Chain A
Amino acid sequence: MILRETAWRVFAGELNNSTLEERGAEEKSPNYVISPLGAPINRVLIAGVLLEKENRGTDDDPLWSGRIQDASGNFFINVGRYQPAASVAMADLETPSYVAVVGKVRTYARDDGRVMVTVRPERIEEIDEETRRLWMLSTARATWERLLDMKKAIGGASIEDLVEGGMDRDGAEAIHYALEYYGNPDSTRYLNMIQNSLRALLPDEQIDLGLPEKIYGGEDEIVIDGPDERGSSEEEKEIIMRLIGELEGGGKDGADRESLEREAAKHGIAPVRVEELSNELMDEGQVYEPSLGYLKRV
């Protein structure tokens, strides 16, 4: 029996941080990326604002790429000739618009060896505000449940224990793979994603989960590592601004993201953090993106 892979509801911030791959042993068996929260992901259901789209192919043989933003970061999508339904839809979509994507995750290793995650849509559809809110809600809940499952594993639950508790075996194994490979997840980061979504969903509520603080006393707590990122954020932004300045040189394209991330890494700033910082800088109006994958100071 061939089971269709389920579409994981996952925020960009979790998906893009996934660097652990599990390739199927046989030619046709599916590949997975295992997220830091232990989701074995082959297919995703994602939603957000289509910020950019670009046809890197020709009119006759289009090769669309695009960037979709959710509350936690950006999804990068690529649509080629083998995704006819999505390709037709891409041509008609406007930016910005709310879209939902059902697609397969693809990974590639860059020169620096880092694994990049992109999504190859099977379906991309314009959605209404309500559908986007519903996706945010279900993804927030799914992320929360993954955190709780992770906590059980950190607290000592074995694969067998998790299966006993009703989880399927692949999922239970993936949680343990993730723990082995990534170590304990930075729960503050994921709780923040959920909090941001809840704030967007319930603008009239004063939502403060009191982050970052340890969730739980006792032995089975999720260890929250690292200092509060926000403290050093101004300093990091300065570095990013300086690097963009150096990299954009005289050209009109600006600094390409890949070089920026490479340079930032030398200053101890992780690529995901670069994305967060550049998003903040864009929100503040200090930088903009003249074309997909390039940043320029205003």
Chain B
Amino acid sequence: MKGNELTPHVEELKRVLGKKVSEEDIRAELDNFVNRFGVDVENAKKAIVRKLGDEGVSFITADAVKKKIGDLTGNEQSVDITAKVVFGESKDVTVRGQPKTIFSGILGDDTGTASFTVWEGEGVELETGAVYEFRNAYTRLWNERVQINVGNRGTIEASKERIETVPYSGGEPVDAKIGDLREGMGSVNVTGKVIDVERREITVRGEPRVVFSGKMADDTGNVQFSAWEDFGLVEGRTYTVSNAYVRAWRGIPQLNMGDRASVEEADADFGDAVGGPTESTISEIIAVGGGIDVSVTGVVVDVRQGSGLIQRCPECNRAILNGECVSHGTVEPVLDLRLKLVLDDGTGAMNVHVGRELTEKLTGVTLDAAVGLAKARGDPEAASRGMAGKVIIKQMKATGNVLSDEFGPMMIAREAEFLEIDIDAEAKKLLSEMEATI
């Protein structure tokens, strides 16, 4: 590699190493690593930072590159981004059992928008509309969209740069069907029917605010929305919402109408049928991250631990073992029934949580009967095993909201039933499809 090819890398190293090391030394080192020992530039830079840098200079800073949002691949280990905050808020979340404050939202520049999360979000306040420099951020792909993360190595500084051409404000918003809404979409136009809407008074960062929230639907699905202004939305009417943005809560996309959004009544007619459960495959749900009121048909391929007759803490309602609650010590447990199923439709697998009433319906075993059986056998597991046997390998249709967590998608079942499938009719259908093709 010739001297002038090394120059940008020398410049980068200079920025990382500061004034302590002379440019000549840096150049000599880099030349030695690259041209004498044949080390690739990226690894050479890391090694030089470790060799010449102060303690505390993380070598990861060495390959920080500056990128536009539109150029992010989702694999960046360390990247600098200058971007405008389209939207941001701090949230209290639980990460691996620990309560934590994060700051998350959407960033934009003149090439695109992406969701972002500042993981050490305590005390972080980023102003919507302001431009910041995000250094040493890393990126991930989530549902084929790039997410920008600022971890404990990252820094954020206010920038003097002006970004005017972010697609959400100056550029073209995207027309989208409700079923295609994805987390991180910075500006969408959506037409849908308001299934329900409710005015709520909430507190955002200590300030009282009014939000109109509810459910919208078109022929592709349902979505929860929050309107941060009173657009006069009326149940049963159909609207075109322009310049809205999409955020996700535990994987469920939510349509937000902020102060840039506009709402107009639309001519579209989706009929009375919309707003009901959306039939979906599990791979479709995984692609979106979650959804409200979806129906999935599959085979129960597993009944997980903690199904059947369980104990709950009378204080916090958490499932407990042997009358011991992690928060409340020895308690007099409340008995309950539930099923934690794995439903698999051949496109993917998903956890499904089934509460007591549905469990009783599916298994034909009531809570009283299960308690009786457990006592009679002297074995609380006896009832649970029997109940698992009633559902395993059965064809089931389950309906409810689907969230995503670190174990993938999880449905809280609102309705669940075994399916009677007309095998003859389905077999004939397959046969005629084949005859038409072959």
Contacts and interface: CB of A to CB of B under 8 A. Distances in A.
Contact of B427 (A122, A125, A201): A201
A256 to B, nearest CB: 33
Contacts of B393: 100, 102, 123, 125, 127, 131
B347 interface: yes
B438 A6 contact: no
Contacts of B349: 3-7
A144 B282 CA distance: 20
A283 B135 CA distance: 71
Nearest to B424: A202
Contacts of A207: 431
Contacts of A133: 423
- Secondary structure at the B interface, as helix, strand, loop or mixed, is mixed
Nearest to B428: A202
A1 to B, nearest CB: 6
A1 B408 contact: yes
Nearest to A200: B427
B395 interface: yes
A144 B287 CA distance: 24
A7 B392 CA distance: 14
B283 interface: yes
Contact of A138 (B342, B346, B431, B438): B346
A3 B299 contact: no
Interface string B380-411: 00000000010011110000000011111000
B29 interface: no
Contact of A2 (B350, B395, B407): B407
B1 interface: no
Contacts of B347: 6
B430 A123 contact: no
Interface in B401-438: 404-408, 421, 423-424, 426-428, 430-431, 433-435, 437-438
A130 B342 CA distance: 21
Given A1-B407, A102-B301, A215-B437, A201 B424 contact: yes
B344 interface: yes
Contacts of B365: none
A77 interface: no
Contacts of A2: 406-408
A196 B267 CA distance: 52
B431 A202 contact: yes
B144 to A, nearest CB: 9
A141 interface: yes
Given A6-B349, A131-B393, A202-B431, A123 B426 contact: no
Interface in A103-152: 122-123, 125, 127, 130-131, 133-134, 137-138, 140-142, 144, 148
A210 interface: yes
Contacts of B344: 4, 6-7, 45, 102
B120 interface: no
Interface residues on B, range: 35 or more
Interface string A1-27: 111111111000000000000000000
B252 to A, nearest CB: 14
Contacts of A142: 346
B348 interface: yes
Contact of A141 (B283, B389, B430): B430
A4 B286 CA distance: 11
Contact of A198 (B392, B404, B406, B431): B431
Contacts of B110: none
B196 interface: no
A134 B421 contact: yes
B395 A45 contact: no
A180 interface: no
Interface string A200-243: 01100101011001011000000000000000000000000000
A133 B422 CA distance: 11
A191 interface: yes
Given A141-B430, A168-B283, A202-B428, A122 B302 contact: yes
A194 interface: yes
Interface string B299-326: 1011000000000000000000000000
Contacts of B286: 3
A137 B430 contact: yes
A45 B299 contact: yes
Contacts of B438: 191, 209-210, 213, 215-216
Given A2-B406, A4-B408, A45-B301, A144 B392 contact: no
A123 to B, nearest CB: 6
A286 B289 CA distance: 56
A134 B393 CA distance: 11
Contacts of A205: 428, 431
Nearest to B394: A131
A2 B433 CA distance: 36
Interface of A: 1-9, 45, 100, 102, 122-123, 125, 127, 130-131, 133-134, 137-138, 140-142, 144, 148, 168, 191, 194, 198, 201-202, 205, 207, 209-210, 213, 215-216
26 contacts: A1-B404, A1-B407, A1-B408, A3-B348, A3-B408, A4-B342, A4-B344, A4-B348, A4-B350, A4-B408, A6-B349, A45-B301, A102-B344, A122-B302, A123-B393, A130-B423, A134-B421, A137-B423, A137-B427, A144-B434, A168-B287, A201-B427, A205-B428, A207-B431, A209-B434, A216-B438
List 7 A-B pairs, minimum CB-CB distance, nearest first: A4-B349, A215-B438, A201-B427, A102-B301, A3-B408, A100-B393, A7-B344
Given A1-B406, A141-B430, A198-B431, 10 more contacts: A1-B405, A7-B301, A8-B346, A102-B301, A131-B393, A191-B434, A194-B430, A194-B434, A202-B427, A210-B438
Interface of B: 282-283, 286-287, 299, 301-302, 342, 344-350, 389, 392-395, 404-408, 421, 423-424, 426-428, 430-431, 433-435, 437-438
